[in-house]
């Protein structure tokens, strides 16, 4: 069984899915998509929504939730787990640094594709992975708002100075 819930955030509506044992997906639903009501039937989902709410309010800097990355290659799983375990709130890591930390032989340029395969953004913080010469890309957020969303998340965490305009 899949439980779904959502919350409004400064970067749009986030939808969260749980199977009762682990968080399985976090995503930005398409405009007009139905989103679940505010009273999730699953305690884990309720906890995830509360932790995300605290994160966006500036009251939490880490997530204490079981999550399931779903069917991923061993390399993808290793990179995403390394990201979750080693890159904290307010920190960034380059694609190349994350490739090296993961202990895999994946080239730095492939890390972007792995970040795009992350089914649990925000909780597994793919927004903290940046290019060596700038922000890099980001597939999260509302359509066409990926880099705006990434910049907001990094500013919120103090990893980037706030934009002047």
The residues carrying an active-site annotation are: 126
Task: Report how far apart the first and last C-alpha atoms of the chain are (Å, whole number).
Answer: 45
The stretches of 21-73 forming alpha helices (DSSP H) are 43-57
Q: Is 97 left (phi over 0), alpha (psi -120 to 50) or beta?
A: alpha
* Phi, psi dihedral angles at 60 (to 5 degrees): -140, 145
Cα–Cα distance for residue pair 48/18, rounded to 1 Å: 9
């Amino acid at each position: 069984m899949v439980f779904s819930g959502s919350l409004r955030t400064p970067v749009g509506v986030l939808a969260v899915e749980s199977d009762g044992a682990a968080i399985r997906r976090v995503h930005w639903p398409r405009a007009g998509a139905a989103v679940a009501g505010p009273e999730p039937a699953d305690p884990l989902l309720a906890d995830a929504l509360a932790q995300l709410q605290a994160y966006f309010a500036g009251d939490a800097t880490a997530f204490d939730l079981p999550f399931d990355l779903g069917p991923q290659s061993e390399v993808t799983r290793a990179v995403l787990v390394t990201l979750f375990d080693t890159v904290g709130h307010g920190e960034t890591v380059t694609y190349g640094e994350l490739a090296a930390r993961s202990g895999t032989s994946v080239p730095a340029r492939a890390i972007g594709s792995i970040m795009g395969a992350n089914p649990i953004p925000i909780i597994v913080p793919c927004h903290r992975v940046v290019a060596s010469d700038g922000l890099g890309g980001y597939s999260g957020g509302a359509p066409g708002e990926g880099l705006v969303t990434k910049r907001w998340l990094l500013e919120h965490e103090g990893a980037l100075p706030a934009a002047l305009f």
